[in-house]
Chains A and B, each alone.
Chain A
Amino acid sequence: MAFATAARERRRSTMSSRRRSALTGWLYASPLAVFVIVLFILPLGLVLQMSVSDWPLLGGNQGVNFPDNYVNAIDNRFFVDSVIFTLKYTVAATVLLIGLGLGLAMLVQESTRWKGFLRSSFLIPSALGLASASLLFYVLYSPSAGPFADFMERTGITFLGTPTGALWSTVFLIVWRYAGFYMLLMLVGLQGIPDEVYEAARIDGASRWQIFRRVTLPLLRPTFALTVVLCVTGSLLAFEQFYILTKGGPDNSTITVVQLIYNMAFQGQNDLGMAAALSIIVLGALIVINIFQLRAFRSPDEE
C-alpha cells in the first residue's frame, strides 16, 4: 500500500514537473510566438482578404471584389511581359550562379594562403546590400561617369540603353554580388564528399572528367537542390536591382513581377486589392515551383 502511494506521488510529481517544464518552455518561446502570429500569420490572412476586396491605397476596405482583382491583375497590360521577363532573368541568373559557384568552389577548395585570399575577394561583394551594389553598378554603367565612359562614347555601346543590354548588365551585377555566396554553399557540399570515394574512383582508373561526372556531381545533389531552390526563389522575386538600375526601362522591357506588384500598390493605380491578388498568385506559383524542384532533386533511392 505504502509502495503504491509512493508511486502515485512520484507520478504526480513528474507530471507536475513536466507541466512546469512545458510552461517554462512556452514562456521562453512566447516572444517568438507573438512575432510570428502578429507579423506573419495575421498579415498572411489579411492579404488573402485584401485579394478578394476592393481596397484602394487610401480608402481602406470597400467590400468584396472577387474575382475582379485577380482578373484585373492578369489582364494588366504588363502582366504577361513581366512574367516572361522574370522567367528569362531567373534562368539566366540561376544557370550562371550555380555554374560559377561550383567553378569557383573547385578553384579555391584547398586551404592555401593564396586561395584563402581568393575566397575572401569572391566573398566581399556579398557583404554589400543589394541596393548598395545596384547603386554602385548604376554609376559604373553610366555613360558619363563610369570607367567605361570613353569606351561607350567611342563605340556607341551602352549597358542599360537596350533591353538585352539592360538584362545582361543586371545579371552581371547579380553574379558579382552573389557568386561568392554560392561558392560558399558549394564548398560546404564539396567538403561533405569523403576522400575515400575519390580514392576508390582513382584506383578504378577513372579519369578526372569521369570522376567529376560520376562522383562529384551525383554526390552534390542535395547541395544543388538547396542552391537551385534558393537562387530560383530569389530571382523570381527580383526587385531592387531593376528598381534602381533600370526603373523597368528601357521601354518597360525589364519590369519584374514584384515590381509590377509594387507599381500596382504604390505607383499610379494605388490598388492594394489588385496588388494583393497578384502577390497571392506569385505565392501560389512559388509553392508549386518549389515543390516541383524538390521532387526533381530527390535522390532516386528515396522515391
Chain B
Amino acid sequence: MRIPCPYCGSRDLSEFVYHGDAAPKRPDPAAENASELFYTYVYLRENPAGPLRELWYHASGCRSWLIVTRDTRTHDIAGAVLAMESAS
C-alpha cells in the first residue's frame, strides 16, 4: 500500500504507524461524566465498512500525524491531510 503524505508525497506503508479512527476527540477532563467519556474515547470504536478518516503517523518520514481517508473494504485512499492543519 502507498499513502500520499501531504508533505512527503506517495510513500510505502512500512513508513507509517496506524492509530485508527480519527473521529474520537479527547474529552473534557473536567466534565461531570468524564470517566464515561474517557472510557468511550479510549475503548469504543466504530468499525465501518467504507471510507474512514484515520490517524496515521509518518514515523519514518516527516514525523507528521496525518488524517488519511481510506476505504476499509478496498484500501483505496481518497486523500490525506496533516492532522495539525485539519479543521475538525
Say whether A and B bind each other: no
